[in-house]
């Protein structure tokens, strides 16, 4: 009956066929899920998440893959189980009514049972077989079969029967999960691992420095390649999520497109374009140098472009950040309202590093941002060693770069001496590193910013003064003088000094101009007087000439008059005579 229904949705990777669990991340680690039609052992300590793991396997199978499942509980009663998983949004009652799952609670009470002589567990087989057949189950969970050992005393029979049970499950063709308590020396208390030879997964719940981390490891997976690391996983209101592997190869896509940093002067320093999309940027500096402001400015610019930004705040609450950024002219609230900006605030000590990583992964997958900001990563150091934080960040950067998400970290450097290495040791991982440092001079503290590195990009090597105004962030060229670099009021003073000098100079120039004008005027007046002198002299001379001419004329007239008078004596031919005389 069971086999007549749908074939299990399994992916075949080579020889072995697999069944997708639907548990986020696990299918990636196992490269396709659990071995189809075979039992898998999941062992772990109390509270390591075995039951939840298996119930999610059943529920996801029923909901997402159309594979009904039987959950045989030896520990919790069906009602308890239903209540427990209701918080994850699993409505087992409804699923049971729809004949998608079946929960069978097996009650074993030693005080009620008396053993006399030979017996076998055929009753259990019949129950299981009946449950499987009644809904055509493809998935079976036995949680925790070891409880049989507490109820029944004849271990010889039990062991033989458990062995038979696994054969029975295989013959039924169901993909099964058997859970087991972690033993002292062996994987499980009752040595169940010797019966289940196909796949063994160990769940672990470790507490380091008072912070617990859940981890998962595939101990064995016969006939299949699988990840061998310990993978952290998270249990939250959406069930289990396992963190996928660090990508082992460095062959991700790169983009040559660039995104603005939000500070136009900084963009100019970075070859006029900003950061590369999908790159990682580290902003480091001592306390109060404006790291968060730069990060917020980057986030702001991203949202203004209409892209999405996810801001992980490990120090301040989102409201605090929004208020503080309001004071330097950034309205982050509007982006939050529009849904372009999301904050994810949590105290680093809330859970372990790995869990943070899982949580960050989850948030990123859900929000699908273009830009991610982590402010600051320094606080993570409180919950892990430097190497652990570094490993975590490597994994995070890997994950983000595969998705082409630009990430900006801020890091607090504790010593005021500029260090070539951040405390987290991530400086070698990032693509761009912006350093802000205090320049203490002249009785005041100013911020100097420079680009330590920017891979694959022409960038300025200059120190700029980093100023925050109520209109936003800006970078100002510092003054380079013989006394060194001048910033802040010293720069202003210098500027003022130069301005005064200019004014004085200008005045001096204008005085000279005026003098020149005056001199010209004097000269011009002199020229005028000379000219008039000359004119009077000329006039004088002219007067003599005129007089002379007049005299001549008058004399001529007098002569002619006299001649005329004489002509009276000579006759009327006086004219000719005059002519002749003139000859």
Catalytic residue numbers, as ranges:
75, 315
Structure-block tokens of residue 133: 């057949």
Closer to another protein by CB, 148 or 436: give it: 148
Least separation in angstroms between residue 107's CB and another protein is: 4
Minimum separation from the CB atom of position 70 to another protein (A): 12
d(CA 209, CA 352): 9
Are 147 and 108 in contact by the 8 Å Cβ rule? The answer is: yes
Retrieve residue 581's tokens.
């005389």
Alpha-carbon torsion (291, 293, 294, 299), positive or negative: positive
Please say which residue, 31 or 157, places its beta carbon nearer to another protein. Answer: 157
98: nearest Cα among 135, 139, 46? 135
In this structure, are residues 102 and 96 in contact, taking their beta carbons and an 8 Å threshold? yes
Q: How many whole angstroms separate alpha carbon 323 and alpha carbon 343? A: 14
Pick the closer one to another protein by CB: 148 or 457: 148
- Span between the terminal Cα atoms of the chain, in Å: 169
DSSP assignments along 367-411, one per residue:
H--SEEEEE-SGGGGGGS-HHHHHHHHHHHHHHHHHTT-EEEEEE
Closer of 115 and 477 to another protein (Cβ): 115
Closer to another protein by Cβ: residue 99 or 561: 99
Both structure tokens of 388? 């652990």
Smaller CB distance to another protein: residue 148 or 169? 148
Cα angle, residue 176 at apex, residues 120 and 155 outer, rounded to 5°: 30
The least CB distance from residue 30 to another protein, in Å, is 32
Q: Phi, psi at residue 332, to the nearest 5°?
A: -80, -25
92 CB neighbour count, 10 Å cutoff: 24
**Minimum separation from the CB atom of position 183 to another protein (A):** 23
Provide the minimum distance between the beta carbon of 240 and another protein in the complex, in angstroms, as a whole number. Answer: 29
CB count in 10 Å sphere of residue 287: 10
> Which residues of the chain form contacts with another protein (CB under 8 A)?
104, 106-108, 112-124, 126-127, 129-130, 148, 151-152
Q: Nearest-CA neighbor of 261 among 406, 444, 82, 477?
A: 406
Strands 371-375 and 406-412: parallel
The minimum distance between CB 302 and another protein, in angstroms, equals 58
For the bound state, the minimum distance from the C-beta of residue 389 to another protein, rounded and expressed in Å, comes to 51
Contact (Cβ atoms closer than 8 angstroms) between residue 464 and residue 477:
yes
Smallest distance, another protein to C-beta of residue 106, A: 7
Cβ closest to another protein, residue 155 vs residue 444: 155
- Residue 144: cis peptide before it, omega within 30 degrees of 0: yes
CB half-sphere exposure, 98, CA atoms < 13 A: 14
Output the six-digit token pair for 309.
């930004």
User: What b/e string do you get for 407-418 counting C-beta neighbours within 10 Å, with b at 16 or more?
Assistant: bbbbbbbeeeee
Q: Which is nearer to another protein, 2 or 363 (CB)?
A: 2
């Amino acid at each position: 009956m069971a086999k007549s229904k749908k074939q299990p949705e399994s992916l075949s990777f080579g020889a072995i066929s697999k069944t997708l669990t639907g548990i986020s991340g696990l299918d990636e680690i196992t490269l396709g899920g659990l071995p189809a039609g075979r039992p898998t052992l999941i062992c772990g300590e109390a509270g390591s998440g075995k039951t939840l793991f298996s119930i999610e396997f059943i529920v996801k199978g029923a909901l997402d893959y159309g594979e009904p499942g039987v959950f045989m509980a030896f520990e919790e009663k069906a009602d308890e189980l239903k209540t427990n998983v209701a918080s994850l949004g699993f409505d087992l009652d409804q699923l049971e009514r729809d004949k998608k799952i079946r929960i069978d609670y097996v009650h074993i009470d030693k005080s009620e049972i008396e053993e006399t002589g030979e017996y076998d567990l055929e009753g259990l087989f019949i129950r299981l077989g009946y449950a499987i057949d009644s809904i055509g189950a493809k998935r079976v969970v036995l949680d925790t079969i070891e409880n049989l050992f507490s109820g029944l005393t004849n271990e010889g029979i039990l062991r033989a029967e458990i062995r038979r049970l696994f054969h029975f499950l295989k013959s039924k063709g169901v993909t099964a999960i058997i859970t087991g308590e972690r033993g002292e020396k062996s994987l499980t208390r009752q040595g169940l691992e010797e019966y289940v030879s196909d796949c063994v997964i160990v769940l672990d719940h470790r507490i380091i420095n008072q912070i617990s981390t859940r981890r998962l490891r595939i101990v064995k997976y016969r006939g299949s390649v699988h990840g061998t690391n310990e993978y952290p996983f998270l249990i939250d209101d959406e069930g289990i999520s396992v963190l996928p592997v660090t990508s082992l190869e460095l062959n991700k896509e790169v983009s040559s497109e660039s995104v603005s940093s939000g500070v136009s002067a900084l963009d100019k320093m970075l070859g006029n374009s900003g950061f590369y999309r999908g790159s990682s940027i580290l902003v480091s500096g001592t306390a109060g140098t404006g790291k968060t402001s730069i990060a917020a400015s980057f986030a702001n610019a991203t949202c203004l472009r209409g892209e999405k930004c996810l801001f992980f705040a490990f120090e301040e609450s989102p409201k605090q950040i929004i208020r503080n950024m309001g004071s330097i002219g950034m309205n982050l609230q509007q982006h939050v309202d529009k849904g372009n900006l999301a904050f994810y605030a949590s105290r680093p000590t809330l859970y372990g590093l790995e869990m943070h990583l899982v949580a960050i992964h989850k948030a990123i997958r859900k929000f699908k941002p273009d830009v991610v900001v982590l402010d600051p990563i320094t606080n993570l150091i409180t919950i892990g060693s430097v190497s652990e934080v570094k490993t975590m960040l490597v994994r995070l950067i890997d994950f983000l770069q595969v998705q082409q998400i630009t990430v900006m970290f801020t890091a607090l450097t504790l010593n005021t001496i500029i260090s070539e290495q951040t405390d987290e040791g991530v400086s070698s991982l990032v693509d761009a590193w912006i350093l802000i440092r205090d320049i203490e001079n002249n009785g005041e503290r100013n911020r100097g910013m420079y680009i330590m590195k920017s891979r694959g990009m022409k960038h300025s090597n200059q120190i700029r003064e980093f100023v925050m105004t109520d209109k936003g962030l800006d970078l100002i060229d510092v003054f380079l003088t013989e006394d060194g670099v001048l910033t802040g009021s010293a720069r202003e003073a210098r500027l003022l000094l130069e301005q005064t000098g200019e004014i004085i100079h200008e005045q001096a120039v204008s005085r000279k101009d005026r003098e020149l004008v005056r001199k010209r005027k004097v000269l011009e007046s002199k020229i005028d007087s000379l000219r008039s002198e000359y004119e009077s002299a000329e006039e004088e001379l002219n007067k003599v000439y005129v007089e002379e001419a007049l005299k001549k004329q008058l004399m001529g007239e007098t002569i002619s008059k006299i001649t005329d008078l004489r002509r009276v004596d000579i006759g009327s031919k006086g004219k000719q005579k005059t002519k002749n005389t003139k000859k």
